[in-house]
Chains A and B, each alone.
Chain A
């Protein structure tokens, strides 16, 4: 099956721990995106990558880090510096910048 896979669906972590969220796509897409969604809110852009080995900060990058070492993978690390990490995290990809983007199923992160 082709698509965007985010794992796990639900993730629990203790406060102060870093946690890495996985996003893999087998669509041969160049561009990938990470968003955060809080209850009743829209999607806010954390980081985006136009091509492998390149990424840019979005609107709320503080407390997050990413890497893009492989075209198919764009992992997001939520660091202990992120003050309010509990949220629904969504990954998306598009064949190239400027084209339609498709989303994964999301990871719900709860920090206790």
Chain B
């Protein structure tokens, strides 16, 4: 089945720094979603991307749907301590796997004050 390779696995940064993470796949996806999860909770949707090349912002977060439809990027600018958590990408497939929502392995973000 589809696999999403998310990198980096973890990041340790200072407050105020910018963060970049990405997801890649050998399969094409029709939708890319980015989530944040805190311990013991369900993931919370941050950004949804529906078109190849689309660039969408949500406050300090910016995400892009890769032009090949096989990758996506999430940037966080001017990080703050409450950005700590696990960030997941997710892709919605088409074709024979239509409707299947697949997740990456996550990026653990630690922000030092």
Q: Which residue numbers of A lie inside 8 Å of B, CB to CB? A: 6, 31, 33, 35, 41-45, 48, 50, 56, 58-59, 90, 92, 94, 97-106, 108
Taking the closest CB of chain B, its distance from the CB of A46, in whole angstroms, is: 12
Q: Report Cα–Cα, A21/B88, bound state, in Å.
A: 24
Size range of the interface on B? 20 to 34
Secondary structure of the A contact surface, majority rule: strand
Q: Is the CB of B99 within 8 A of A42?
A: no
Residue in contact with A99 in the complex, picked from B31, B43, B106, CB distance below 8 Å: B31
Can you name 28 A-B pairs with beta carbons within 8 Å? A41-B105, A42-B6, A42-B88, A42-B104, A43-B43, A43-B88, A43-B90, A43-B103, A44-B103, A45-B101, A45-B102, A45-B103, A56-B100, A59-B1, A90-B43, A92-B42, A97-B92, A98-B92, A100-B31, A100-B45, A100-B48, A102-B45, A103-B35, A103-B42, A103-B43, A105-B41, A106-B40, A106-B41
Q: Is the CB of A100 within 8 A of B41?
A: no
| B62 within 8 Å of A (CB atoms) | no
Question: What are the 10 closest A-B residue pairs judged by CB atoms, nearest first?
Answer: A103-B42, A97-B99, A100-B48, A43-B103, A42-B105, A50-B99, A42-B103, A106-B42, A103-B43, A105-B42
